[in-house]
A and B are shown apart, each in its own frame.
Chain A
């Protein structure tokens, strides 16, 4: 089965890039432009991986991590947190809440692909 990935990001261009990129790599990509939409999707669909920005409208990324990790149904879903550089405190908070991985912007797309595969436990070599 194709792994389902949810991308939560409020910047149009970034969202599109991730959507196209991950789509091309053969994942089933879902998108949410804000935290509210994301929470709704999470409650409806069982995702294999969630990639979320920290700064989001309505509901922040940290709260999304918290929601996923505190619900027994979804607590095993890997979460990759995406954020601008420099928020070391936020990185720690994200990990404390149970985030599995952290990527700072700007980032390398190839690296993202590898991290996605690693968190999905798909063999890294294609």
Chain B
């Protein structure tokens, strides 16, 4: 039947004829449909096996409401504000310190991981190290460091250094692999030593981008410094954790608002820095 219908349009032989001889502009993608159906089925199964029920959800709303009610108004007693400022300053120090050390260490690691600059064995080992640094969330790394060096800011700083190092070296290595080798070749042809080739031929090509990444990492470390505090890494996270445990929910709200304010400030700072070095 289809063959007969097709012969009515001899000048336009169509690769695929639908029923009735109509040509189909959008043939069905059965593989994609199957994949979506499988995903939906699995989501249903997961929800059922994790005991998600509507009643628990509604109950949770109720409790959440009561919890929120206990938070208002935020606690601004002088002694609490003092705790808040102390915690926040420590978090800021953790974030800045971790970012600075992370940037310093990411430069050699990034160069070592760039396949166009480093010999292959070095590049692959550096890449393996970066993957290792990136494979765990900062919170998990922080738990390890708390076990290793004890509670406090040091553990937080170390955890965030690992996170910064993973992120910055990876992005630096990728930026380095995209540089123009012609520019580098010319500097090398003058007899410049390797480090001078890096300083004159490579750095100018990647610096603006890397400064953008570093600003983003500072911003990200500000956020994560609160997180590592929750597991014993010091800073505002520790203050927040204590407030939770003492059911000081009004103080919790103060802390949360302060964290939001600082993160927004960090974001603005990061945007400004990037604009400065475009």
A joins B in a complex: no
